[in-house]
Amino acid sequence: MYGSFGTTLIQGALLAGTILTAGQLSGRWLESSLVIVSALLVISVIRRNQMYDWLEKKPGTPLGHLPGMWVDMSQRVIHRERQLLRERDEAQMLLINLHQSLSSLDSGLVHLSPEWKINWWNAPASGLLGLREGYDTDAALFNLVRTPELVRFVEEGDFELPITLASPITTGRMLEYKVCPIQDSGFLLVIRDVTRFTRLERMRSDFVANVSHELKTPLTVITGYLETILDNQLVTSQGVRAVEQALKQSGRMNRLLQDLLLLSQLETTAPDPKPTQIRVSDILEHAVREANEVKNALQRETTQIHAITTSDYNLLGDWNELTSAINNLASNAVRYSPDGAVIELAFAVRNGQGLLTVRDNGPGILPEHLPRLTERFYRVDNSHSPATGGTGLGLAIVKHILLRHGGSLEIDSNPGSGSEFRCVFPKERTTTAR
Ligand code: ADP
């Protein structure tokens, strides 16, 4: 800054000196000043044009001879130009490194425009989706990946969870798609090959199903013998209690095996391709009957169970699965609420979605347990008591049934004032009953 100020000062002094000398020599101050300033202006315009020409040329072209302040200016331009070139090279290097790093990932990445057109992808995405360099840029994603489930997933617009689908190009390969919206710049599609993982999941599920199945026969035999012993009074009065306890535990084990088998069946089989229209009032009626049986078995004499139905609706689904889900929730409400509780089963429609709700005014659940309630065998403390008769799989079963119906489970609960479990069904499964 001082440099340019100093140069300006020197140039000003030189100009003043020239005008003074010329004025004194010629004795014509005004004319000599005008001549000198005009000459300076002409030179400046020529230099400026020279400078413009140079600026238009390729970076690095020599400027040629320029005097005084033009040299200073051109040097500044050259300096700035070098700095910009350096920054550009660094940015290019960064971009190349970024591309190489993204291509060395295991996951496929595809950058999509807001209209779902393919902008860019990394090397693994080419392998996973069969994208071809030079052909598929700007192509619509759904022209290349023609999977109806993916189209539906995108149309629904809920990208919180990924979706797992069969590969569009390799039979037997399973791909997981996660859509990450990028603000104002479309979407990033992250694709993972989850074939091994799904195979392991399948093996785990098959293993549980096989073990449960194998245990059923010996358990039936044991239960049969225990019942025979009791019925025929084959033990002394001291032994009766032990046999009764054994029978109770074998009953519990039987329920556990049944729940495990049901859960693995829900996990491993495809949902019914032809679901039926089921009247919501029938589901509720069935659930109230079943809940009353639980109530009587547990001797909750003053507990009240009501079904609240306004206009009747239909749900598109599987009768056994839907009744199993709602019965589980209603049975929990009876089992976990003290005698005298009020339990309501209701149906309502919210933004076209069907809500099948089981509400109780029982003890409620602390908020920290809510996110884990649908995990297998997760139980809130103190619910291990045999009096509840649970297997720890009820809510996991409910969650799977709802997933198979395109729905979800919402839970609201306040310790001390009760719980509300809502089965949410998508619009297309909720219709008015004719
Ligand atoms: P369980 O077979 O033990 O009932 P669930 O999966 O059905 O297993 O429920 C998981 C846990 O959630 C239960 O152990 C219980 O602690 C809690 N729970 C479920 N429903 C209710 C309810 N209506 N009120 C209070 N706690 C509940």
Specify the CATH number for the domain of residue 232: 1.10.287.130
Domain co-membership, 93 together with 109: no
Average pLDDT of the chain is 90
Domain co-membership, 281 together with 419: yes
Give yes or no for residue 336 CB within 6 A of ligand 1: yes
Q: Tell me which residue has its CA closest to atom 7 in ligand 1.
A: 394
100 Cβ partners below 8 Å, 6+ apart?
none
Domain co-membership, 86 together with 160: no
Helix, strand or coil, per DSSP, at residue 12 = helix
Please identify, among 49, 65, 99, the residue that sits at the C-terminal boundary of a domain: 99
Domain co-membership, 425 together with 293: yes
157 Cβ partners below 8 Å, 6+ apart?
none
Domain co-membership, 293 together with 372: yes
Interval between CA 156 and ligand 1 midpoint (Å) = 31
Interval between CA 376 and ligand 1 midpoint (Å) = 11
383 Cβ partners below 8 Å, 6+ apart?
336, 390
Interval between CA 395 and ligand 1 midpoint (Å) = 7
Task: Output the pLDDT for position 67.
Answer: 67
Stretches where the chain sits below pLDDT 50 are: 1-2
Interval between CA 137 and ligand 1 midpoint (Å) = 52
Give yes or no for residue 418 CB within 6 A of ligand 1: no
Please identify, among 131, 163, 193, the residue that sits at the C-terminal boundary of a domain: 193
How many of the other CB atoms lie within 10 Å of CB of 375? 13
Give dist(CA 65, CA 60) in Å, integer: 15
How many of the other CB atoms lie within 10 Å of CB of 73? 17
Give yes or no for residue 376 CB within 6 A of ligand 1: no
Task: Output the pLDDT for position 2.
Answer: 46
Q: Tell me which residue has its CA closest to atom 11 in ligand 1.
A: 379
- Global pTM reads 0.70
Task: Output the pLDDT for position 212.
Answer: 93
Domain co-membership, 248 together with 323: no
Domain enclosing residue 211, as ranges: 197-268
What's the number of domains the chain is made of? Answer: 4
Quick one: how far is CA 343 from the chain centroid?
34
Give dist(CA 228, CA 219) in Å, integer: 14
Domain co-membership, 315 together with 388: yes
Here the CATH number for the domain that contains residue 162 is 3.30.450.20
Here the CATH number for the domain that contains residue 330 is 3.30.565.10
Domain co-membership, 157 together with 119: yes
Domain co-membership, 331 together with 396: yes
Domain co-membership, 232 together with 323: no
The tens digit of pLDDT for each residue in 27-65 reads: 888 888 888 889 888 988 888 888 888 888 887 777 777
Give yes or no for residue 379 CB within 6 A of ligand 1: yes
The tens digit of pLDDT for each residue in 242-291 reads: 999 999 999 999 999 999 999 999 988 888 888 999 999 999 999 999 99
Domain co-membership, 39 together with 7: yes
Please identify, among 99, 121, 155, the residue that sits at the C-terminal boundary of a domain: 99
What sign results for the dihedral spanned by CA atoms 202, 203, 204, 209? positive
Q: Tell me which residue has its CA closest to atom 16 in ligand 1.
A: 380
Give yes or no for residue 356 CB within 6 A of ligand 1: no
Task: Output the pLDDT for position 1.
Answer: 44
Task: Output the pLDDT for position 64.
Answer: 73
* For the chain, counts of helices (H) and of strands (E): 11, 13
Task: Output the pLDDT for position 9.
Answer: 81
Domain co-membership, 166 together with 209: no
Give yes or no for residue 294 CB within 6 A of ligand 1: no
